[in-house]
């Protein structure tokens, strides 16, 4: 099935039957990726007296509870409510779901003991008003990202100036294959989050950050149409399923 997406007087043609899923699967076991010092999520049948919500245990249906944290257990999309005293819901923030997007691959630079994605690197990939979303794949792109335990690893992060440049380029939706755009232990500064959302001076309430994606190596760098779908959670963040469509 073909579709046309128009943006800034340009028409993009996509094939809806060729979806490229860049979300991580949430599993109820130790193979699930984990960040922020959490244990694995749990997916377990409801138990109520003699009732066990599992067909193999005699129930007519499988009836599971799921316990997880959207920020630490998989692909999630967050709004500025993630860092504000006031409550802001990503469900109220994200009202459109199709965007022009550019996939870019960057190997972070070593700065001191950190690995950092710099403004200079972003500038070499992106022009002002080129697209609405950026999908940032870090290199090397190993398949173990799909089950990595990130806690206490000092993962690569986005330089404050790089996040500011993305905002200046008109990027409304930033997607990255790390648990956070910021340094794991930064004493609560959250410099990249604040720079991208331009908080608190000129807060961009309609902008989102999606973290813990996985962009398979077979997906080439370039221009795509992004379908960014979230669950309808009244929360600062929601599990999400970003899908890319190659433009024709």
pLDDT tens digits for 95-134? 999 999 999 999 999 999 999 999 999 999 999 999 999 9
Nearest to 213 by CA among 23, 8, 7, 20: 23
* 8 Å CB contact between 138 and 117: yes
Could you give the CA distance from residue 109 to residue 114 in angstroms, rounded to a whole number?
8
Could you give the CA distance from residue 113 to residue 184 in angstroms, rounded to a whole number?
13
CATH second-level architecture of 2-24+71-246? 3-Layer(bba) Sandwich (3.50)
SS3 162: helix
Please identify every stretch of the chain with a pLDDT value under 50, giving residue numbers as ranges: none
State residue 142's pLDDT score. Answer: 96
Per the structure block, which two tokens stand in for 139?
Answer: 């290199």
State residue 147's pLDDT score. Answer: 97
Could you give the CA distance from residue 25 to residue 33 in angstroms, rounded to a whole number?
9
State residue 4's pLDDT score. Answer: 87
Q: At 222, give phi and psi (nearest 5°).
A: 145, -165
State the Rg of the chain over Cα.
Answer: 19
Could you give the CA distance from residue 64 to residue 34 in angstroms, rounded to a whole number?
21
Annotated domain spans of the chain = 2-24+71-246
Q: What is the pTM of this model?
A: 0.97
State residue 52's pLDDT score. Answer: 98
């Amino acid at each position: 099935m073909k579709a046309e997406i128009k943006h800034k007087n340009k028409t993009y043609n996509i094939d809806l039957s060729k979806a490229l899923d860049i979300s991580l699967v949430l599993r109820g076991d130790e193979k699930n990726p984990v960040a922020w010092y959490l244990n694995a999520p749990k997916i377990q049948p409801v138990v109520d007296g003699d009732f066990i919500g599992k067909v193999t245990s005699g129930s007519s249906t499988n009836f599971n509870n799921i316990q997880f944290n959207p920020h630490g257990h998989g692909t999630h999309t967050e709004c500025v409510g993630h860092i504000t005293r006031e409550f802001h819901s990503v469900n109220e923030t994200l009202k459109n779901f199709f965007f022009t997007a550019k996939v870019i691959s960057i190997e972070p630079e070593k700065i001191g003991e950190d690995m950092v994605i710099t403004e200079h690197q972003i500038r070499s990939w992106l022009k002002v008003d080129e697209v609405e979303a950026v999908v940032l794949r870090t290199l090397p792109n190993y398949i173990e990202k799909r089950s990595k335990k990130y806690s206490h690893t000092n993962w690569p992060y986005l330089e404050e100036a790089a996040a500011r440049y993305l905002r200046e380029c008109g990027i409304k939706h930033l997607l990255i294959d790390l648990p956070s755009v910021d340094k794991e232990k930064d004493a609560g500064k959250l410099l990249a989050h604040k720079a991208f959302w331009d908080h608190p001076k000129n807060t961009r309430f309609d902008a989102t950050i999606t973290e813990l994606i996985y962009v398979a190596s077979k997906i080439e760098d370039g221009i795509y149409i992004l379908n960014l779908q979230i669950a309808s959670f009244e929360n600062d963040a929601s599990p999400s399923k970003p899908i890319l469509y190659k433009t024709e």
